[in-house]
Amino acid sequence: MKRLTREAVDREIAGLEGLDITTLQNRWQELYKLPPPFKIRSGFLRRAIAYRLQELLHGGLRLQTKRELRRVAERTRLNRAHSGGKPLTLDVGIPPSESVLPRRKILSAGTRRLREWNGTTEVVDVLADGFGWRGKTYRTLSAVAVAITGTKWSGPKFFGLVTTKKLKADGAKVPNIGRVPRAEVASP
């Protein structure tokens, strides 16, 4: 790639508005050395191309900033009560092993979580590939909580792995719905 000047970058950014989606996708491919994400809109392509041009001209983010962005993205991914979709992958120039996000509590396969709900004790087994409840396997604890209650719940909160005090300390909004009893842990 030829040496960029401020004037050339300014001209190209100004000219992005008149480009069609195919031309934008080709320019993305040239700049990022990857095909653009599937079904991406032209407005986002324009902004991403403009960012990349400025990054090439002025330099990219510092390593510390990249680490902070990875930490925020990982925390966001972990806090979602979403049971479907693919895991979020980020290429911010640092390996995932250097992440600054603290490790979350891992439940060992074979652990059993008990929770009383509407007068019934619900038993959930931790499996190597998810969570078992009433003969069915679920990918996340939140998916089990939704199946039990019929409404959206945070699995870790429903089963007492996260307390209201911890959620408030992390800055999450906690509805005032009364105290949720902590789940018990039993050995199989």
Predicted structure pTM score: 0.41
Residues 75, 135: one domain? no
Is 161 part of a structural domain of the chain?
A: yes
pLDDT digits (tens, 9 = 90+) for 80-128: 644 344 444 445 454 544 444 444 556 788 888 888 999 889 999 998 8
Residues 165, 126: one domain? yes
pLDDT at 82: 45
Does pLDDT of 29 surpass 90? yes
Per the CB < 8 A criterion, the answer to whether 162 and 156 are in contact is yes
Is 104 part of a structural domain of the chain?
A: no
Is 20 part of a structural domain of the chain?
A: yes
For the beta carbon of residue 151, count every other beta carbon within 10 angstroms: 7
Residues 119, 177: one domain? yes
Is 79 part of a structural domain of the chain?
A: yes
d(C-alpha 156, C-alpha 48), whole Å: 36
Which among 157, 151, 159 has a CA at the least distance from the CA of 131? 159
For the beta carbon of residue 30, count every other beta carbon within 10 angstroms: 11
For residue 10, the enclosing domain spans 6-58
Confidence of residue 7 (pLDDT cuts 50, 70, 90): very high
Pick from 36-40, 51-55, 155-159, 160-164 the range whose average pLDDT is largest. 51-55
